[in-house]
Structure 1
Amino acid sequence: MDPHHGPLPAVGWRFLLLYALAYMSTSLLFLAPLLVSLALKVNSLVGLDEAPDSLALVAGVGAAIAVVANPFFGTLSDRTTSRIGRRRPWIVGGLLVGSAGVVAVALASSIPVVLLGWCVAQLGFNALLAAMAAVLPDRVPVSQRGVVSGVLGMCLPVASVTGTFLVRLFNGDMLGMFLAPCVVGGFFILLFAASLPDRRLDPADRPAWSVRQLVMTFWVSPRRSPEFAWVFVSRFAFVLAFAFLTTYQAYYLLDHVGSREAAVPHQIFIGTLVQSGVLVAASLSAGKLSDRSGRRKVFVVTASGIYALALFLLAAASSYNGYLVGMAVGGLGFGMYMAVDLALAVDVLPDPHTAAKDLGVLNIAGALPSAVAPAIAPSVLALSDGSYAVLYAVAGVSAVGAALAILPVRRVR
């Protein structure tokens, strides 16, 4: 239901295709640096011994910026009365600013410059993400949200494979590794922005704005919206598990598996490809089954449990083949989760008038773990004598927490 224009019409394949490509491209902008490029850039500047702490600083501060930026820009998007719509200005502007930050990271000669560039990238890309996520409640009716969410769930693995492939393609060329995902992703994002039927907000319908409203940008009351709060907790715990894996994947392969540095981009690409093949099938199937059955919770709980199992398998692995097995199982859990989690979240939004703001708050649960994981990981590694097996076991426990947190949700079956 569009609060200002009545029931939403069904979306067609053309909209869905362009939206999926743009959403995948948005994920590509974040993931290509986080999966490979950023870790290799930091390693090239300070060496393997200091790299984990330096990466923790860059990733942690960048994630803290994202926590603030996503709901803030979501609120601004909800209030935008531009002639070209509410979402389009932030999609285009966010892409340009974020890409400039990525170029700065690629050309940086010191960790402080990497940090500054990554913070700029997070500001821009989170403005883009806030507007892109809000398109789902803006344009897609409830009856199609499971299927659309399932398709969007495939975007993350496709972006992961594409990102690692592009990095591998430009291996040895630092600027190319960082810039190629922006060029490829930017094309599809701009294509979607040009075709998006983005309604202009009438100034009379603009939500209220005050200092209190600014503070509330970052808050949804758990007492008034307990279902939303539990979904927030579940997503936070699940993404925290994912953040442990992705942030330290390169160092896991170097230190725990014993891979050569030159082989790491290729190994991560193969691992991501294996994970994504399973993930795509799981995401499509889970999204359709969720819509047909009218159920969301059982898929999220099962997915979280499977992802926990994958992380425990990675913790126990002692070879690259063991790593691939863990990634495949992880693809099954992650695919089921991504197919249904967004649909469940949209179903429990507190207010359709503030969809972008509330999704921005929910996206804190997706951004904050990227700051928490690097903050926790050095202590876990220090206490475990540098064991990445222990670190991934901690990640598995977090995934179990994601399953438990969704159980109190009652409004959605």
Structure 2
Amino acid sequence: MTITSSRGAGFHTGRRLGALLGAMFLFNLAGYAAIGAALQILLPAQVAAADSAGKLSAFGLVTGVSAIASVCVPPIVGALSDRTRGRWGRRSPWILYGGLATLAALVLLGWMSTVAGLLIGWFLVQGTVNIGLNIMIAVVADQVPEHRRGLASTVGGLGVPVGSLAGTAVGALLIDSALLAYTLLGLVFLATSALLALVSREHLPGGESPERASLRTQFMSALAGLRSRDYAWAFSSRAVMFLGYFAVSSFGLYILTDYIRLPAGLTAPNALTLQATIQTVCLVLGTLVAGPLADRLNRHKLFVLISSLMVSVSVALPLLSPTWTVQLAGAAIGGVGFGAYLSVDQALVTLVLPAAEHSGRDLGVFHIALNAPQVVAPFAGSLIVANLGGYPALFVAGGLLSLIGALMILQVKSVR
């Protein structure tokens, strides 16, 4: 059954909603498997091989500059998809072509062996993979009833930890065969892109015509949604919280190599895989509980606050001791918190969108709150480690930023 919304797209119920949520889960799983394999294992190893002495600053440069692509792409693609018309609707073509472009970019990245080449390759991956990942959020706003968006965020969000774990495992297994790993991950992502494009295909009324405003006008107005107070505070809370998180997590492999005292015989890549496994189990638990419970209690903001505070604690926890036990405890706490956050945060923002007819545009801008911190965090993190007291100073800065981001969500006053 499909219920028609005021925008012309259909709200799915029953089997069609189940198919859409299943496709979203697989799509997120494949996308974050590629991202996780690259960021956690393959890309740090490639950077270290290209410049072992300056790996920290080189990795910060590669990830920081490349994240500019993930900042610029979402609002542009969101605005373009809002005005796209055709028999496949607004969103599906972008999901499919984004999958094709991501496969090509991943294969190119696998061929690179210099810092400059890795920067170019990862820049292209960041730009292409975020096409579909951003459009999927707009699909939720278009086609999922408001009272089911917590469930949608939960199901889609489950793909993030499972995908990250799978990607980390693939990366550790194929750490010496980066091209093969990237190719396999890219092919799986393309397959899930095709599936989601098919399932999320819209049937727009024949009388609905494309928007007459020029793309330039739409792009210039992309930030107009931030004039809405609640939307702006939700955006800022997410951006600052992720800035603190990425400042630490961006250097996960190097932290395990250079700071944490690992048990004898445990290598840093294998330790990262084990840590990711524990974090994923806890993350799935947090995701499964928080999303449906937030829907039932209608307290999305409260769940975002609590989960953000847990992430803040996990980021700063290694300050207690540079031991493997403390590191795993932080992974468990952060896993539960991050899972709960992922399952509720996207649902919250769909409830404070300024204008339903510009959901693609505004959700594209909101996606910047996840990607923009990736621009700043690697640069800032490498500077902190090098000049302000090493990794302990990084943990302090990350924990404080995450805490500030958590408290900022209290400024959101009106949620539908």
Q: Distance in 2 between matches of 1:317 and 1:390?
A: 13
Quick check: 1:251 aligned with 2:257? no
- Do the aligned residues in 1 keep the contact of 2:107 with 2:186 (CA within 8 Å)? no
Distance 1:200 1:262, change over 3 A: farther
Quick check: 1:15 aligned with 2:37? no
Matched residues, number:
409
Aligned to 2:170: 166
- Do the aligned residues in 2 keep the contact of 1:235 with 1:366 (CA within 8 Å)? yes
SS in 1 for 2:209: helix
Quick check: 1:106 aligned with 2:117? no
Q: Distance in 2 between matches of 1:350 and 1:29?
A: 33
- Do the aligned residues in 2 keep the contact of 1:102 with 1:117 (CA within 8 Å)? yes
Aligned to 1:37: 42
**One-letter amino acid of the structure 1 residue matched with residue 48 of structure 2:** N
Aligned partner (choices 255, 265, 272) of residue 269 of structure 2: 265
How far off is 1:45 after superposition?
Answer: 0.8
Q: Distance in 1 between matches of 2:170 and 2:212?
A: 42
Aligned partner (choices 353, 368, 374) of residue 370 of structure 1: 374
Q: Distance in 2 between matches of 1:176 and 1:242?
A: 30
Aligned partner (choices 194, 198, 203) of residue 198 of structure 2: 194
How far off is 1:319 after superposition?
Answer: 1.7
How far off is 1:195 after superposition?
Answer: 2.9
Q: Distance in 1 between matches of 2:295 and 2:12?
A: 17
How far off is 1:236 after superposition?
Answer: 0.5
1:4-34 Cα offsets, whole Å, 9 max, x none, are: 3377242532322122111222222322211
Aligned to 1:335: 339
How far off is 1:200 after superposition?
Answer: 4.6
Quick check: 1:296 aligned with 2:300? yes
SS in 2 for 1:8: strand
1:30-56 Cα offsets, whole Å, 9 max, x none, are: 222112211111111111x20111111
Aligned to 1:180: 184
Distance 1:374 1:6, change over 3 A: closer
**One-letter amino acid of the structure 1 residue matched with residue 254 of structure 2:** Y
1:245-302 Cα offsets, whole Å, 9 max, x none, are: 3210011011101559992221111111101111111111111111111111111111
Aligned partner (choices 88, 98, 117) of residue 94 of structure 1: 98
Aligned to 1:227: 230
How far off is 1:201 after superposition?
Answer: 7.5
Q: Distance in 1 between matches of 2:265 and 2:247?
A: 20
The alignment's TM-score, normalised by the length of structure 2, stands at 0.93
Q: Distance in 1 between matches of 2:232 and 2:339?
A: 23
Q: Distance in 2 between matches of 1:187 and 1:408?
A: 41
Structure 1: where are the runs of 5+ without partners?
A: none
1:79-108 Cα offsets, whole Å, 9 max, x none, are: 111322211111111111122122222111
Identity, % of aligned pairs?
A: 30
Aligned partner (choices 405, 409, 413) of residue 410 of structure 1: 413
Distance 1:28 1:82, change over 3 A: farther
Aligned to 1:325: 329
RMSD: 2.1
- Do the aligned residues in 1 keep the contact of 2:314 with 2:333 (CA within 8 Å)? yes
Aligned to 2:244: 241
> What are the equivalent positions in structure 2 for 1:14-163 lying under 5 Å apart?
14-47=19-52, 49-163=53-167
Aligned to 2:365: 361
**One-letter amino acid of the structure 1 residue matched with residue 260 of structure 2:** V
Aligned partner (choices 349, 356, 369) of residue 353 of structure 2: 349
Q: Distance in 1 between matches of 2:121 and 2:55?
A: 17
- Do the aligned residues in 2 keep the contact of 1:254 with 1:261 (CA within 8 Å)? no
Q: After superposing the two structures, state which structure 1 stretch, 234-243 or 334-343, moved more.
A: 234-243
Q: Distance in 1 between matches of 2:266 and 2:40?
A: 15
SS in 2 for 1:206: coil
Q: After superposing the two structures, state which structure 1 stretch, 206-215 or 159-168, moved more.
A: 206-215
The alignment's TM-score, normalised by the length of structure 1, stands at 0.93
1:316-348 Cα offsets, whole Å, 9 max, x none, are: 331222211110110111111111100000000
Q: Distance in 2 between matches of 1:261 and 1:358?
A: 49
Q: Distance in 2 between matches of 1:207 and 1:347?
A: 27
- Do the aligned residues in 2 keep the contact of 1:91 with 1:127 (CA within 8 Å)? yes
Q: Distance in 2 between matches of 1:379 and 1:75?
A: 36
Distance 1:176 1:379, change over 3 A: same
- Do the aligned residues in 2 keep the contact of 1:220 with 1:361 (CA within 8 Å)? no
Distance 1:2 1:35, change over 3 A: farther
Distance 1:377 1:207, change over 3 A: farther
**One-letter amino acid of the structure 2 residue matched with residue 213 of structure 1:** Q
Q: After superposing the two structures, state which structure 1 stretch, 7-16 or 162-171, moved more.
A: 7-16
Aligned to 2:283: 279
How far off is 1:359 after superposition?
Answer: 0.5
Q: After superposing the two structures, state which structure 1 stretch, 86-95 or 271-280, moved more.
A: 86-95
**One-letter amino acid of the structure 2 residue matched with residue 255 of structure 1:** D
- Do the aligned residues in 2 keep the contact of 1:11 with 1:140 (CA within 8 Å)? no
- 4+ residue segments displaced more than 6 Å: none
Structure 2: where are the runs of 5+ without partners?
A: none
How far off is 1:210 after superposition?
Answer: 4.9
**One-letter amino acid of the structure 1 residue matched with residue 393 of structure 2:** V
Aligned to 2:214: 209
**One-letter amino acid of the structure 1 residue matched with residue 316 of structure 2:** F
- Do the aligned residues in 2 keep the contact of 1:60 with 1:370 (CA within 8 Å)? yes
Q: Distance in 2 between matches of 1:378 and 1:11?
A: 49
Q: Distance in 2 between matches of 1:15 and 1:214?
A: 29
How far off is 1:139 after superposition?
Answer: 1.0
Aligned to 1:5: 8
